[in-house]
Amino acid sequence: MALETHVITDQAQWASIVDELGAHPLQAWGWGELKSKTGPWDAHRLLFCEGGERVGGCQMLVRSVPKPFGAMAYVPRGPFAKDSARLGEMANAAAEWAKAEVRPVCLKIEPGVPKEALTLSKAWREGHKVLLAKTAVMDLTLDEDALMKSIHGKKARQYIRKAGRTGIVCRPAERGDLPRVLELYHGTAENDHFGIHEDAYYEQAFDLLGEESQLFVAEQEGNIQAFLWNVATRACAFELWGAVDDAGKQSRANYLLKWTAMLAAKAKGAVLYDLNGLMNDGISKFKLLFAGEPTYWAGTFDKPLSPLYPLFETALKVRDKHRGEA
């Protein structure tokens, strides 16, 4: 039976689909709105049905790219399916819709599943990555005591308790906390040499991410020392942004903050806690104090939808080379 494709334009209906089919938070309405309102992307929400039953879907981001390529389409941490064995079918259905409706040079997908759980046709090929496939995850289905015991580093467990004893308080952030949150983020970005968006992007994120947003701050005597900003659905909690100052490192505020975020995601019903991306740096070492070992998602896959695709891939490689030499 052929899949039926429906374009969803109602936020509440999309939320019910994300909830029912276990979609990643980057497939939630708020993430699409953020990307649409702060950049060149347009968000399209697709539901795939079979015999009237919801079986899968995806939130597809589409943007214009320089001539002669026209457009590219991207599904972050998707598509999703009621039966993960059918993800390949959902990917093909998404590609068919994209080719007919937005005519991109390719469709790029990055499902949040292990490689062995993803079966794609030969038309798909490994593509230019957007999100890192190497990450670390925690199992939130464990009860609270077992979750604490599952934290890999003994020191990490000790520091969580120490921060609580020394007066660190973790709480949900308010909009008035954003200036300090962004001050912390700028400092961390400068020290660790990574790029961040303009402040307006994060201000929009606070307004647009909706119920999936979980932004926490850690403070001591009213002074914010760290923040952690996640998005979470029932499928997964996903770390977006975070930072800690020198006082927070001394007080171990970032340890208690991460634990607080895990418990909040667990209370929301999330199954996994994804620490989002591992590289060879100090932040990644900190993440592995919690998870212990890396997890590898399937990776990035493209389905060419235009004869210009090989040229498009070459252009991306040249761009990255020039960025690396800059």
pLDDT per residue over 152-195, tens digit each? Answer: 999 999 999 999 999 999 999 999 999 999 999 999 999 888 89
| pLDDT tier, 325 (very low <50, low <70, confident <90, very high otherwise) | low
Q: Which two tokens stand for residue 261?
A: 């975020």
Q: Rounded to an integer, what distance in angstroms lies between the CA atom of residue 159 and that of residue 326?
A: 40
For residues 87 and 176, give the distance between their C-alpha atoms in angstroms, rounded to a whole number: 41
| Nearest CA among 185, 286, 236, 311 for reference residue 18 | 236
Among 115, 121, 80, smallest CA distance to 298 is for 115
* Residues 46-81: tens digit of each pLDDT: 999 999 999 999 999 999 999 899 999 999 999 999
Neighbours of 241 (CB within 10 A): 20
Secondary structure class of 215 (helix, strand, coil)? strand
Please tell me the predicted confidence (pLDDT) of residue 281: 85
Q: What percent of the chain stands above pLDDT 70?
A: 98
Confidence of residue 316 (pLDDT cuts 50, 70, 90): confident
In whole numbers, what is the pLDDT of the chain averaged over residues? Answer: 95
Is residue 287 predicted with pLDDT exceeding 90? Answer: yes
User: Residues for the chain: how many in total?
Assistant: 326
What is the arithmetic mean of pLDDT over 252-273? 98
Asked whether residue 326 carries a pLDDT value surpassing 50, the answer given is no
**Strand 295-296, strand 169-172: pairing:** unpaired
Structure tokens at 39: 């950049």
Tokens (6 digits) for 254? 């970032």
For the segment 113-123, the average pLDDT, to the nearest whole number, is 95
- How many angstroms from the chain centroid is the CA of residue 26? 5
**Which backbone phi and psi does 309 adopt, to 5 degrees?**
-55, -50
Q: Where are the domains of the chain?
A: 4-131+297-325, 137-296
Mean pLDDT of all residues in 98-120: 96
Distance CA(233)–CA(137), nearest Å, equals: 15
**Averaged pLDDT for residues 222-228:** 97
- Which regions of the chain does DSSP assign to beta strands (E)? 4-8, 41-50, 53-65, 70-76, 80-81, 106-110, 125-126, 134-135, 137-139, 169-172, 213-220, 223-232, 236-244, 272-274, 295-296, 301-304
Could you tell me the sign of the dihedral formed by the alpha carbons of 290, 258, 212, 110, in that order? negative
Domains 4-131+297-325 and 137-296 share a fold: yes
Question: Shortest CA distance to 236 belongs to which of 127, 135, 115?
Answer: 135
Rg (CA), the chain: 20
Q: How far apart are CA 182 and CA 31, in angstroms?
A: 19
CATH code of 137-296, in short, is: 3.40.630.30
d(CA 254, CA 241): 12
**CATH homologous superfamily for 4-131+297-325?**
Gcn5-related N-acetyltransferase (GNAT) (3.40.630.30)
